[in-house]
């Protein structure tokens, strides 16, 4: 079976203006939602307590809220998730009470209200730890970008490196934009997904760039635009098939992975969808606008003769 039987190269680069415009709009919208609504940060980052409890029968949210209120926590949120028997309770930090005492008190109150309550999961994070996790997350994001850029600059050329990183950041910002728009909870697991997308999506750009370099060598007479068009067309089949396969896995996680992996797989889904788009239609035009040419790539390749070995 073969889905992509494309005889002629698709002139992707002549749509450059349109695709860049679309990207720019989604990007700006994401930034707007991020600024306007902000991320719904989980307790990992804000500090606070999250408890997951379950009951043998349908949970009485009102009664649970009463029990939590009795501890003196007015800002707590109590909600169902998954089934009507499972309840998620979120408690903000209380400066006068240690986090360990807090969860203890709430659990005691819940047990008093209904002795059948079962505690499934408690996560309590102090304010300082939350702040650190937040900072470390940002640092990881920054370092991944720098690392990838350095590798690509070494392996290809700085124009490709910059283009790939811009395309990647575009994906990351859009994922964050989605999370801000829908106010999905952003926690450490989602951060892991976002960072994985960063590594994953750069793959795409690498595959296209690899082909661009090869084409520069083979298609001696073609212009830059033709070379890139050909590279994208030739790799398109692979791009779509790979992403489709990965998406199958992610969908499986979305369906079977339960609450903890839900937002994780959501972030990956958005990342994969926009990853296809951005690596093809964002990274390449940017590389072109930055003025990638045969000359600056060839010198790059000569510096690394090992890369040319594969050529017959």
Restricting to residues 4-43, name those near other proteins by CB under 8 A.
none
Question: Cβ 166 to other proteins, closest distance in Å?
Answer: 15
Question: Cβ 192 to other proteins, closest distance in Å?
Answer: 4
Among 32-40, 65-73, 139-147, 290-298, the segment contacting other proteins (CB under 8 A): 139-147
User: Rounded CA gap, 140 and 198, in Å?
Assistant: 11
Residue 104 touches other proteins, criterion: CB under 8 A? yes
Question: Cβ 83 to other proteins, closest distance in Å?
Answer: 12
Q: Residue from 2, 57, 62, 115 that binds other proteins (CB under 8 A)? A: 2
C-beta closer to other proteins: residue 242 or 296:
242
Residue 120 touches other proteins, criterion: CB under 8 A? yes
C-beta closer to other proteins: residue 62 or 312:
312
C-beta closer to other proteins: residue 35 or 311:
311
Which 214-233 residues touch other proteins, going by CB under 8 A? 214
Question: Cβ 210 to other proteins, closest distance in Å?
Answer: 5
Residue 57 touches other proteins, criterion: CB under 8 A? no
Residue 71 touches other proteins, criterion: CB under 8 A? no
Which 154-173 residues touch other proteins, going by CB under 8 A? 155
Residue 238 touches other proteins, criterion: CB under 8 A? yes
C-beta closer to other proteins: residue 160 or 277:
160
C-beta closer to other proteins: residue 33 or 163:
163
Question: Cβ 111 to other proteins, closest distance in Å?
Answer: 11
| DSSP code string of the chain | --S----SPP-GGGGHHHHHHHHHHHHHHHHHHHHHT--EE-HHHH-EEEEEEE-SS---HHHHHHHHHHTT-TT-EEEEESEEEEEEEEE---TTS-HHHHHHHHHHHHHHH-TT-EEEEEEEE-HHHHHHHHHHHHHHHHHHHHHHHHHHHHHS-HHHHHHHHHHHHHHHHHHHHHHHHHT-EE-HHHHHHHHHHHHHHHHHHHHHHHHHHHHHHH-TT--HHHHHHHHHHHHHHHHHHHHHHHHHHHHHHHHHSHHHHHHHHHHHHHHHHHHHHHIIIIIHHHHHHTT--HHHHHHHHHH-GGGGGG--
Which 187-206 residues touch other proteins, going by CB under 8 A? 187-189, 191-192, 195-196, 198-200, 202-203, 206
Residue 82 touches other proteins, criterion: CB under 8 A? no
Residue 241 touches other proteins, criterion: CB under 8 A? yes
């Amino acid at each position: 079976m073969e889905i992509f039987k494309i005889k002629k190269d698709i002139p992707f680069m002549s749509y450059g203006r349109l695709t860049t415009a679309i990207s720019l709009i989604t990007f700006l919208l994401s930034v707007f939602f991020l600024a306007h609504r902000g991320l719904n940060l989980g307790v990992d980052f804000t500090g606070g307590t999250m408890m997951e409890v379950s009951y043998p029968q349908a949970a009485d949210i009102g009664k649970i809220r009463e029990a939590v209120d009795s501890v003196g926590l007015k800002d707590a949120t109590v909600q169902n998730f998954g089934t009507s028997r499972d309840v998620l309770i979120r408690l903000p930090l209380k400066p006068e009470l240690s986090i360990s005492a807090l969860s203890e008190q709430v659990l005691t109150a819940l047990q008093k209200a209904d002795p059948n309550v079962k505690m499934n999961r408690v996560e309590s994070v102090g304010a300082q730890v939350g702040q650190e996790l937040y900072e470390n997350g940002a640092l990881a994001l920054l370092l991944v970008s720098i690392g990838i850029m350095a590798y690509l600059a070494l392996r290809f050329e700085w124009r490709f490196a910059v283009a790939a990183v811009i395309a990647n950041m575009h994906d990351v910002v859009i994922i964050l934009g989605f999370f801000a728009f829908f106010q999905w909870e952003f926690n450490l697991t989602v951060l892991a997904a976002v960072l994985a997308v960063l590594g994953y999506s750069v793959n795409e750009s690498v595959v296209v760039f690899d082909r661009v370099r090869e084409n520069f060598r083979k298609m001696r007479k073609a212009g830059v635009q033709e070379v890139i068009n050909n590279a994208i067309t030739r790799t398109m089949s692979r791009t779509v098939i790979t992403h489709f396969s990965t998406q199958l896995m992610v969908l499986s996680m979305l369906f079977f992975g339960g609450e903890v992996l839900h937002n994780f797989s959501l972030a990956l889904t958005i990342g994969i969808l926009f990853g296809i788009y951005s690596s093809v239609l964002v990274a390449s035009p940017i590389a072109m606008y930055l003025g990638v040419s045969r000359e600056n790539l060839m010198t790059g390749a000569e510096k690394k003769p090992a890369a040319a070995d594969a050529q017959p």
